[in-house]
Structure formats: C-alpha cells, structure tokens
C-alpha cells in the first residue's frame, strides 16, 4: 500500500515524501518523473535517475523502485540529459505489522508520553530512541476532528502546521530530538473539551525505515502542574502558592495539594513514614513539631490528573538559648 505523507510545489516541480508499506515479499513500485501530457511519450526521453546521489541504470519517465523486505527507501531524483533537476521524491519504507524497532516503551508501556502544564492548549510529547538505531523525526501530524488535513512543514526549524476543523496545530521538534512542543491555536480553556487530540509522530532510521507512533488524549488526561513554590513563614507555619504557569483564575482552575511532613529518618517525600494531609481550601499549614522537612505537590482538583513533582523545604527550628553557668573563681580573675 502507499501513503503520500507530504506533497508541495518546489521550484514549480512536484516533490513528495512517499511511504510504501511492504511485507516480507519482494515487489516494485513505479515513480513518475514528469506528468504525462495527452499524447505525450516521456518514456522515450533521456531522463536520468539518481538514488541517494548515485546514477542508476534505469532511464525514462517511469522508474521502478525495487522493494526487497525493508530495502528500497532512499532519495530518488530525476534529471534531464543536461543534468538539471526535474523532480524529487523521498521514499520511506514501512514494514507491515511491525512496530517498536525505533522507539522504546516507557514504564507505562507506552511509546510516547504527553503532558501539559495547564489548559492553554500547549502540550509536550516525548519518547526514547532505541539505543542501536540512529533515528530522527520524519513527519508530525496533529488533529482533533480528522487527520485528512494537509500539514505543511518548515524543515529549517522542523515545524509542522496542521489545520484541523476550526483550529490549527503547530508542532516543533525540540533541539534534543526526542521531544516535540505543540499548541492547539484555537483551543479555549474555558469551554468543554469534547474532541480528543490525536498526535502521530513518524520516525525514520538512516536506512529510510519508517514507523508511526500515535497518542490520543484530552488535555485534562495529560495535565501535570509545575512545581509549587513553598516557603517557611516561622517555626510552626509553611505556605505555598500556585505555579505561575497554571491556568487562571484559580477559582475556575482549582488545585488540590498534598503535604508530606518528614521526621528524622524518612528517606524522601514518598516514604511511608511521612505524615500526609490534603487540602484545597488553603495554601498554608501548621507543621508537626517533629517534622524536619515538608514536601508539597499539586494536582487538578476537578479531575484525576497527574501530580506535580514534589517541592520541599527544610525547616529551620529556632534553638533555645542555653543558660551559661558562671564560675565565681573565673569572675574573680
């Protein structure tokens, strides 16, 4: 089967990223250099083909890509007898029924993990590359209603723009290469989110082997607040505040907080020995007199979202002044 991932005009010529789905058997797929005109015969013309820059023996308007298992992908270009470029196609190979050779599953048995700091329409997705494969992002699609929209790409900054119904998604590959940042430009944080977001990330190896990994979610499924800011007021009181990145007003987007108090000997905020309490009403708490450290984290109070990372503050206790004993003999000196 064949999938045209991306097609656009380039110097008045047709260029495309062409995905060919193959199985273990061999076969061929035709590539056309010039569009056939009525009554025309481009096949007799001296059209030269190159694969990855190397000249091929095949000539003419139609080139047969040889598909043998996962081989056959590459950069195919056709040229006139004088050497000028006529057309260009990037052929990628997708093995039928095979997944998980390029990305590695995470702890939740997912290939892609997505999260959002708030409900403003921005979100991030990340993944882990297979350690034995040199890979990169080939294409990104994002949509809410239908994935039939044609995405445009700015290869210079690896940014894809995808119209979808009444909105547009813009996704950019971050410099690390294993994470994308996206925004739903038409999202309204105050309206009910009825349609789920779908994201497809197409990744490709240096041998033009392609795999497609997808994720579907509502923003409220993936929202994870940033860390809260915690401070000590005095020896018995702490206070904290909403993350600056969280959606406002807080009355419409309330957070629920969990406070863990660690006594001496507790190894961390998640240690069972901690004393815990949850609250949505206040952003301050009187601490336990045996607590040495206090941890605070937040989650959306209205849905079952992820908890933020823990913020912690080491308590400073005021030491009582010890009485100084006076020795008469030393006073006499």
Strands 122-126 and 179-184: antiparallel
- Per the domain annotation, does 264 fall within a domain? yes
Question: What integer pLDDT is reported at residue 35 of this predicted model?
Answer: 76
The answer on 128 and 188 residing in a single domain is: yes
* Overall number of domains in the chain: 3
Whether residue 322 lies inside any domain: the answer is no
- Please tell me whether residues 250 and 273 are part of one structural domain: yes
pLDDT for 53-79, tens place per residue? 999 999 999 999 988 767 889 999 999
Q: Quick one: 214 and 122 in the same domain?
A: yes
pLDDT score of 12? 38
CA–CA gap between residue 232 and residue 245 (Å, rounded): 22
Model pTM? 0.80
3-state secondary structure 250-288: CCCCCEEEEEEEECCCCCCCCCCCCEEEEECCCCEEECC
Whether residues 115 and 204 fall in one domain: yes
Structure tokens at 15: 């260029």
Q: What is the sign of the dihedral through the CA atoms of 189, 192, 195 and 197?
A: positive
CA gap 316, 294 in Å, rounded? 11
Q: With b meaning 16 or more CB within 10 Å and e meaning fewer, what string describes 29-61?
A: eebebbeeeeeeebeeeebbbbbeeeeeebbbb
Residue 155 domain-assigned (yes or no): no
Burial label for 25, CB within 10 Å (0-12, 13-18, 19+), is: exposed
Which residue, of 205, 221, 237, is where some domain finishes? 221
Residue 213 in any domain: the answer is: yes
Same domain membership, residue 173 and residue 90: no
Alpha helices, H only, the chain = 219-222, 328-332
* List of the chain residues with pLDDT < 50: 1-2, 6-14, 38, 329-333
Cβ atoms of residues 98 and 24 within 8 Å: no
CB atoms within 10 A of CB 176: 7
Cis peptide before 286 (omega within 30 of 0): no
328 — phi, psi (to 5°)? Answer: -55, -35
Is 289 strand, coil or helix?
coil
Q: Does a structural domain hold residue 325? A: no
Residues 17 and 91 both lie in one domain: yes
Do 69 and 130 share a structural domain? no
Please check whether residue 177 lies inside any domain of the structure.
Answer: yes
Q: Beta 85-95 vs 13-22: how paired, if at all?
A: parallel
Residues 132 and 217 in one domain: yes
Residue 296 burial (C-beta neighbours within 10 Å; 0-12, 13-18, 19+): buried
Do 186 and 294 fall within a single domain? Answer: no
Q: What is the pLDDT of residue 21?
A: 82
49 and 124 in one domain? Answer: no
182 within a domain of the structure (yes/no)? yes
DSSP string, 121-158: SEEEEE-EE-TT--EEEEEEEEESS-S-SPPEEETTTT
**Residues ≥6 apart with Cβ < 8 Å to 241:** 228, 229, 283
Residue 8: its pLDDT value, please? 38
Q: Which domain holds residue 68?
A: 3-34+45-95
d(CA 56, CA 181): 40
Same domain as 116, residue 217: yes
**Separation CA 32–CA 82 (nearest Å):** 19
Pairing of strands 74-79, 85-95: antiparallel
* pLDDT value for 221: 94
CATH code of 246's domain: 2.60.40.10
């Amino acid at each position: 089967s064949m999938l045209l991932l991306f097609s656009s005009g380039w110097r008045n010529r047709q260029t495309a990223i062409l995905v060919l789905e193959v199985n273990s058997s061999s076969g061929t797929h035709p590539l056309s250099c010039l569009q056939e005109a009525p009554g025309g015969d481009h096949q007799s013309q001296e059209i030269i083909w190159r694969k990855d820059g190397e000249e091929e023996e095949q000539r003419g308007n139609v080139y047969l890509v040889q598909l043998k298992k996962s081989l056959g992908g590459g950069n195919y270009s056709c040229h006139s007898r004088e050497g000028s470029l006529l057309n260009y196609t990037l052929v990628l190979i997708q093995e039928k029924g095979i997944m998980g050779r390029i990305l590695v599953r995470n702890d939740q048995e997912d290939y892609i993990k997505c999260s959002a700091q708030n409900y403003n329409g921005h979100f991030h997705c990340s993944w882990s590359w297979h350690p034995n494969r040199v890979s990169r992002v080939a294409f990104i699609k994002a949509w809410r209603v239908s994935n039939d929209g044609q995405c445009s790409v700015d290869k210079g900054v690896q940014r894809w723009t995808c119209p979808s119904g009444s909105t547009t998604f813009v996704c950019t590959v971050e410099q690390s290469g294993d994470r994308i940042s996206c925004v739903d430009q038409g999202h309204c944080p105050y309206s009910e989110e009825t349609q789920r977001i779908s994201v497809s990330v197409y990744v490709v190896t240096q041998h033009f082997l392609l795999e497609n990994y997808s994720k579907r979610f509502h923003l409220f499924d993936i929202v994870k607040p940033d860390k809260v800011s915690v401070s000590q007021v005095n020896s018995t009181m702490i206070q904290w505040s909403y993350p600056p990145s969280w959606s406002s007003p807080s009355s419409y987007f309330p957070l629920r907080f969990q406070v863990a108090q660690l006594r001496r000997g507790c190894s961390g905020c998640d240690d069972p020995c901690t004393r815990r309490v949850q609250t949505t009403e206040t952003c301050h708490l009187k601490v336990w007199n045996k607590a040495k450290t206090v941890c605070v984290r937040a989650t959306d109070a209205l849905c079952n979202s992820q908890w933020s990372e823990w913020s912690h503050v080491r308590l400073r206790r005021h030491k009582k002044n010890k009485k100084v004993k006076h020795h008469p003999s030393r006073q006499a000196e």
